Amino acid sequence: MAMIRLEALGRTFEVGGQQVRALDQVDLTIEAGEYLSIMGPSGSGKSTLLNVLGLLDTPSVGAYWLDGVNTSTMGDDQLAATRQAQIGFVFQSFHLVPRMTAAENVELPMLLAGIGGAERRERAHRSLAGVGLADRADHRPAQLSGGERQRVAIARAIVMQPRLLLADEPTGNLDTGSGAEIVRIMETLNERGLTLIVVTHDLQIGERARRRLRLRDGRVVEDLRAAQA
Amino acid sequence: MNGRELVRFATHSALSHRLRSVLTALGIGIGVTAVVLLTSMGEGLHRYVLEQFTQFGTNIIGINPGRSTTFGASTGIFGSVRPLTIDDAEALKRVPFVLNTVPVVQGTASVEGGGRERSTNISGVGPEFQTAFDFRVALGTFLPADDPRAPRPLAVLGAKMRHELYGERSPLGELLRVGGERYRVIGVMEPKGQVLGFDLDDTVYIPAARALELYNRQGLFEIDVLYDKAVPADEVVAGIERMIIARHGGLDVTITTQQQMLDVLGSVLDIVTFAVAALGGISLLVGGVGIFTIMTIAVRERTAEIGLLRAIGAGRAQIRAIFLGESILLAGIGGAGGLLVGGLTVVLLGVAVPALPVGIALPYVVAAEAVAVLIGLAAGVVPAQRAAALDPVEALRAE
């Protein structure tokens, strides 16, 4: 059974009294463990697709099956619980809470999930060590470089051991070197079985993915699979 | 996220804007301080007035002529009110459990003595007055137990009165003119102070029957009945009623027990305390507006954070709880600070100005803190609701 299945999915927004089709008739199947990039010009609907896949946005028409469950049947609390358990997010602007240390930021999802303090600290530490930031645990975001911030964000995204990692322009605010490091970390996670979906308009990064989607005007216009390396 | 973690989270975010949070909490704090201070003064006044009233004991029943009842039509001769007489006062001594009765006539008159003249209070009382009200004589004796209908013209001076007329000299045996009539001074009372503005020391005490003549009155102002503490007031009142009916042919007097007086007074003073508490409550309300404002700003500022929390698994209820928790925390801490400052001020006032009647009104203090927390809750509801209702995608886009 496919991990993700989209059927004739559409998402329309109302902008200034006009209906805008951000997504239009998208059919897509993604297997567990895939490494997928989504590319396309601005306004092509790639972020909307990522938000729908991440259960942050709900489709206007069509169906989204996640692990065989139709997500349109889920209530808001159930959607939140599914995000918590299954999906990790990495954002372009990191979205770290500035008043909290790196470790506290990583602990946040576990805090919301009601995991006890001792376990939280232990898992946060392990997760930070996994991205090579064990010695930065007590730093606040302002004291970290951009690359380090994004690594904290990755540590936070994977601390709940999700099956799906969604990255929206993860290198957009980073220099080339840090960006490459971030991509390498995510690819390592993918090699260990995490399904990885990256939205980017950086061709070099997009072409590293084994499967490449190209969107235009809300439609999938290209779905390329690279030969197994 | 359990309660303790929620508190920690709220404290954490409140501390990240230290000055702002302190100022917001201060708004509530000032409100609670105001409630504590104002109600303490109200309570102090309450205690002060009740003390003034109970200093003569609570086992006193007052009998006044006339009955405070409205009749539908003129009741003619049956409705007539007989004056309370000295004979009535004497007769009431025979009612069971009555220890003593004191006839009272009050007025003012010009008093001449020691070459000086002073307009002052005149109290026409019986010889039992001194023992009934626990009133001590400093010099000489109190009015003797003469025939109550024809007492000798003797007078006892209040402490201030003696000082005004005779200075340090002993007035015993001196002649005194009260409203033109000659009296001989036989005693001086110890200072007693004022009871609700009536200066007991600036008074001349003369026999009740003489005061009736002086003012050309038929009846007494009041008869005070002192009764055995161990007996319920109702039983004594019943006995007094029977006696009055037997003597007057009807119940044409108003009988007030000390307890009734205290009840009426107490309820008036309760209203005073409540009114000042309500005044303090207004400043609490203003503090609540402050919290509402700050929480609204906080939700706007932290929109991106709310989006993130939603993305990493926070339900709407959790977002609501986080912001409600923060506003309750601000109000609660402000309130606690207000209690502390208010309480300390009351204690310091009590030490610095002992004459000022203050006393902490505990129910109001507890209520003030509870109201502070409730205000925090109420002020937080709308911002928290707004935070919970945010669309995660929209919220994440805010930066």
The rounded distance, in Å, linking the Cα atoms of B327 and B380 is: 5
> Residue B81: is its pLDDT beyond 80?
no
B145 within some domain: yes
Mark whether B110 and B173 lie in a shared domain.
yes
Q: What is the pLDDT of residue A57?
A: 94
Mark whether B268 and B220 lie in a shared domain.
no
Place of tokens 């906080």: B298
- Domain total for chain B? 2
Domains along the sequence of chain A with CATH: 4-225 (3.40.50.300)
Whole-angstrom CA distances from A69 to A6, A74, B121, B142 are 11, 9, 96, 102
pLDDT band, very low/low/confident/very high, at A10 (cuts 50, 70, 90): very high
Please give the share of chain B, as a percent, with pLDDT higher than 90.
42
What single letter denotes the amino acid at residue B254? Answer: T
Average pLDDT over chain B, rounded to an integer: 87
- State the burial class of residue B247 (Cβ atoms within 10 Å of its Cβ: 0-12, 13-18, 19+): middle
The rounded distance, in Å, linking the Cα atoms of A196 and A4 is: 12
Q: In 3D, which of B77, B90, B60 has the Cα closest to residue B262?
A: B60
Residues 6+ apart with CB under 8 A from A180: none
- B314-345 burial code (b ≥16 CB/10 A, e <16): bbbebbbbbbbbbbbbbbbbbbbbbbebbbeb
Structure-model confidence comparison of residues A114 and B71, the more confident one: A114
Mark whether B280 and B372 lie in a shared domain.
yes
Tens of pLDDT, residue by residue over B259-295, are 787 888 888 888 888 888 888 888 888 999 999 999 9
Domain boundary among B197, B225, B253: B225
pLDDT band, very low/low/confident/very high, at A229 (cuts 50, 70, 90): very low
Mark whether B39 and B121 lie in a shared domain.
no
Q: Which two tokens stand for residue A147?
A: 């690359």
Highest mean pLDDT of the ranges A140-149, B234-243, B339-348, B357-366: A140-149
> Residue A97: which of B305, B313, B399 has the nearest Cβ?
B305
Q: Counting runs of H as helices and runs of E as strands, what totals does chain B give? A: 12, 12
Give the gap in angstroms from C-alpha B314 to the nearest C-alpha of chain A. 6
The DSSP secondary-structure symbol of B136 reads: -
Mark whether B31 and B157 lie in a shared domain.
no
Mark whether B36 and B120 lie in a shared domain.
no
pLDDT band, very low/low/confident/very high, at B78 (cuts 50, 70, 90): low
A interface test, pick of B13, B308, B397 with most A CB neighbours within 10 Å: B308
Query: What is the interface pTM, i.e. ipTM, of the complex?
Result: 0.93
Whole-angstrom CA distances from B377 to A96, B119, B197, B320, B355 are 28, 62, 47, 11, 40
pLDDT band, very low/low/confident/very high, at B374 (cuts 50, 70, 90): very high
Q: What phi and psi values does residue B256 have, to the nearest 5 degrees?
A: -120, 120
Average pLDDT over residues A10-16: 91
The rounded distance, in Å, linking the Cα atoms of A134 and B116 is: 99
CB contact under 8 A, A56 and B318: no
Is beta strand B154-157 parallel, antiparallel or unpaired with respect to B181-189?
Answer: parallel
> Residue A109: which of B305, B313, B393 has the nearest Cβ?
B313
What secondary structure does DSSP assign to B20-89, as a single string? HHHHHHHHHHHHHHHHHHHHHHHHHHHHHHHHHHHTT-S-EEEEEES-----SS--GGGG--PPP-HHHH
Mark whether B184 and B309 lie in a shared domain.
no
Average pLDDT over residues B354-363: 78
Q: What is the pLDDT of residue A160?
A: 95
pLDDT band, very low/low/confident/very high, at B390 (cuts 50, 70, 90): very high
Average pLDDT over residues A151-156: 97
Q: What is the pLDDT of residue B69?
A: 58
Average pLDDT over residues A135-163: 96
pLDDT band, very low/low/confident/very high, at B70 (cuts 50, 70, 90): low
CB contact under 8 A, B313 and A56: no
Give the gap in angstroms from C-alpha B10 to the nearest C-alpha of chain A. 12
- State the burial class of residue A15 (Cβ atoms within 10 Å of its Cβ: 0-12, 13-18, 19+): exposed
Q: In 3D, which of B176, B173, B178, B115 has the Cα closest to residue B139?
A: B173
Mark whether B272 and B220 lie in a shared domain.
no
B37 within some domain: yes
Total Cβ atoms within 10 A of residue A161: 11
Residues 6+ apart with CB under 8 A from A219: A24, A25, A26, A45
Ranges A29-38, A153-162, B69-78: which has the least confidence: B69-78
The rounded distance, in Å, linking the Cα atoms of B189 and B204 is: 10
CB contact under 8 A, B311 and A57: no
Tens of pLDDT, residue by residue over B113-158, are 888 899 999 999 999 888 877 788 998 999 998 888 889 999 999 9
The rounded distance, in Å, linking the Cα atoms of B36 and B223 is: 42
> Residue B79: is its pLDDT beyond 60?
no
Place of tokens 């308009």: A201
B94 within some domain: no
B311 within some domain: yes
* Closest chain A residue to the Cα of B313, Cα to Cα: A84
Cβ–Cβ < 8 Å for A3, A30: yes
B72 within some domain: no
B14 within some domain: yes
B234 within some domain: no
Mark whether B364 and B274 lie in a shared domain.
yes
Give the gap in angstroms from C-alpha A58 to the nearest C-alpha of chain B. 10
Q: Compute CA A34 distance to the chain's CA centroid, rounded to the nearest angstrom.
A: 13
CB contact under 8 A, B312 and A112: yes
Domain boundary among B179, B200, B225: B225
pLDDT band, very low/low/confident/very high, at B73 (cuts 50, 70, 90): low
> Residue A56: which of B305, B311, B315 has the nearest Cβ?
B311
B355 within some domain: yes
Which residue segment(s) compose the domain that B282 sits in? Answer: 3-52+263-397
Q: For chain B, report the end-to-end CA distance as a whole number of angstroms.
A: 26
